[in-house]
């Protein structure tokens, strides 16, 4: 089984500093899938959600680990949610934005990586502020745009924002979260058998406690196991 995942998303995996190998919830789930179903799971690291969707749609991967957003429906089927990844914002220290309640205000420029889950969410929900999508969002670009006022806040998952702000003066994370991105397993469109198998696997790892232990072992900030559903 070839499984596409997002190498850039710490909620899915991070590089172990000691071994240089990927570790995290998705890696653990792949190994548990191997154990439970007596198959070999080959993890395929990809840079963004669309590349994971494309890999499954084109038959380059049998499954993928991707956030479930309404805009991504169509060529693939999404399983039930197994994980929630909390999203928040980073702002300048002198910003009047103190919490999520201050985000959607007139004239606020809200930055997010183009087509990222939080960008899609803001595109659906922002009523007064302005979504500013960045084609690329390495830390130096994010901090420069915040300093220059091109954006007033930059949204992403809490772990990523914690990582990029570590040791950087003049910025702070908001104390609360906008919402939790729903992580799911995708299978090719029309494959009800594969979808049923993915959903059963999620039920099994949730009920056994494996998923919760994996989350705790990962040490990732701001991720929680999704409830039954």
Query: What is the per-residue pLDDT across 58-85, written as a single tens digit (0 to 9) for each?
Result: 999 999 999 887 776 678 999 999 999 9
Rounded CA-CA distance 128/13 in Å is 35
Q: For the residues 171-200, what does the mean pLDDT come to? A: 95
Instruction: Count the alpha carbons within 13 Å of 128 in the hemisphere toward its beta carbon.
Output: 8
Q: Quick check: 146 and 171 in contact, CB under 8 A? A: yes
**Tokens at residue 22, please?**
């990927």
Q: Quick check: 28 and 214 in contact, CB under 8 A? A: yes
**Tokens at residue 6, please?**
């997002």
Closest CA to 5 of 40, 29, 33, 32: 29
**Residue 175 pLDDT > 90:** yes
Burial environment of residue 5 by CB neighbours within 10 A (0 to 12, 13 to 18, 19 or more): buried
Partners of residue 23 on adjacent β-strands: 14
Q: Which residue has the tokens 């999404």?
A: 78
Angle CA 64–199–58, to nearest 5: 30
Mean pLDDT of the chain: 93
Spatial neighbors of 118 by CB under 8 A, at least 6 apart, are 87, 112, 155, 156, 157, 178, 181
Rounded CA-CA distance 189/58 in Å is 11
Q: Which of 19-33, 67-81, 177-191, 195-209 has the lowest mean pLDDT?
A: 67-81
Model confidence at 48, pLDDT cuts 50, 70, 90, reads confident
Q: For the residues 49-62, what does the mean pLDDT come to? A: 94
Rounded CA-CA distance 25/184 in Å is 12
Rounded CA-CA distance 198/77 in Å is 10
Rounded CA-CA distance 128/88 in Å is 18
Model confidence at 32, pLDDT cuts 50, 70, 90, reads very high
pLDDT in tens, 90-149: 999 999 999 999 999 999 999 999 988 899 999 999 999 999 999 988 999 999 999 999
In the chain, what percentage of residues exceed pLDDT 70?
98
Residue 178 is given by DSSP the state S
**Tokens at residue 15, please?**
């590089």
């Amino acid at each position: 089984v070839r499984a596409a995942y997002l190498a850039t998303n710490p909620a899915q995996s991070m590089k172990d500093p000691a071994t240089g190998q990927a570790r995290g919830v998705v890696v653990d789930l792949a190994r548990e899938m191997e154990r439970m179903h007596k198959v070999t799971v080959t993890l395929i690291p990809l840079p963004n959600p669309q590349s994971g969707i494309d890999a499954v749609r084109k038959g380059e991967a049998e499954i993928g680990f991707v956030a479930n957003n309404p805009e991504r429906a169509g060529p693939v089927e999404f399983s039930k949610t197994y994980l929630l990844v909390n999203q928040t914002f980073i702002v300048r220290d002198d910003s009047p934005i103190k919490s999520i309640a201050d985000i959607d205000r007139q004239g606020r420029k809200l930055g997010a990586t183009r087509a990222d889950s939080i960008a899609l969410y803001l595109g659906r929900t922002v009523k007064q502020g302005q979504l500013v999508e960045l084609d690329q969002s390495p830390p130096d670009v994010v901090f420069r745009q915040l300093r220059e006022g091109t954006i007033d806040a930059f949204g992403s998952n809490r772990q990523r924002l914690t990582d990029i702000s570590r040791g950087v003066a003049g910025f702070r994370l908001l104390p609360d979260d906008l919402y939790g991105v729903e992580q799911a397993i995708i299978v090719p469109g029309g494959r009800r058998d594969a979808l049923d198998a993915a959903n059963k696997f999620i039920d099994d790892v949730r009920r056994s406690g494996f998923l919760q232990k994996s989350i705790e072992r990962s040490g990732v900030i701001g991720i929680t196991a999704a409830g039954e559903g």
